[in-house]
Amino acid sequence: MGYEISLLTSMGISVLFALSLNLITGFCGQISLGHAAFLGIGAYLSALLSKAGLPFLATLPLAMLLAGAIGIVVGLASLRVRADFLAITTMGVGFLFVGVVRQQDWLGGELGVSGIPESGLSKIAFMVLTMVLCVVAALLCMYLKKSWMGRVFNGIAEDEDTMRVLGIDVPMYKLAAFAIGTALAGLAGALYAQHFKFIGPDSFGFIESVTVLSMVVVGGIGSVTGVIFGAAMLSALPAWFQFIGDYKLLVYGGLLFLMMRFSPDGVTGLVRRLAVKGGAK
């Protein structure tokens, strides 16, 4: 029973992390290849504050605030670049975060941070908290997608220049997407640190950023339910099929290739097309 609870908690953290990237990449079309840095920011802040004596629950909003604030700074630096250049810029942010953490002894350096205090919650209560936060994040994403802001996000993703001509303050909406998305990533990071009780620089590197991007692409870029499915499935696969753990990147890379080749809109689009064909028959 303990293993299943731990697996469900890990899946919930992955879902929350994937939803945070979907807000930036799926909703607003801003490619981010360094998103794991914001997961790490939330994780390190929560871990250090917990070791300093602050209750775990009190670290959650602080992790969101710091990750969101740094997300705005990154967003400001990225306003003048698009597409491939934006991807490279965000990838650089990810490398910068890992490099800084490795060099700072007060952040644990290469050894990371261990001995993170207990949250005061049982494993079941922590799992329930994680799932509740996932539901809240999913509802927030659904609301944003149907709101005026969500429509503007979609317009920016489709044709940024047209939105500027229409008088839309594109930089402001881009920053809003970065702020909300990175804040949710910080929240996922705080949960990550508390769940695994150890964090290190290798946990938030480029591979983790590509992994969460895979979850978004496989589920369906821009789809809330699709991303939830993609994140849950890809985070559970190594646990269900242990041999995948040794070939994780190969499997994820293969899934990305297949999806982009045969179903660019992910599992969500594939299911939708199959439903239409079934209805036509």
What tens digit of pLDDT does each residue of 60-80 get? 999 999 999 999 998 887 777
3-state secondary structure the chain: CHHHHHHHHHHHHHHHHHHHHHHHHHHCCCCCCCCHHHHHHHHHHHHHHHHCCCCHHHHHHHHHHHHHHHHHHHHHHHCCCCHHHHHHHHHHHHHHHHHHHHHCHHHCHHHCECCCCCCCCCHHHHHHHHHHHHHHHHHHHHHHHHCHHHHHHHHHHHCHHHHHHCCCCHHHHHHHHHHHHHHHHHHHHHHHHHHHCCECHHHHCHHHHHHHHHHHHHHCCCCHHHHHHHHHHHHHHHHHCHHHHHHHHHHHHHHHHHHHHHCCCHHHHHHHHHHHHHHHC
Q: What is the pLDDT of residue 241?
A: 61
What tens digit of pLDDT does each residue of 126-169 get? 999 999 999 999 999 999 999 999 999 999 888 888 898 888 98
pLDDT classification of 263: cutoffs 50, 70, 90: confident
Residue bearing the bigger pLDDT, 205 or 237: 205
What tens digit of pLDDT does each residue of 82-94 get? 767 788 888 888 9
pLDDT classification of 280: cutoffs 50, 70, 90: low
pLDDT above 80 (res 6): yes
pLDDT classification of 279: cutoffs 50, 70, 90: low
Domains of the chain: 2-280 (1.10.3470)
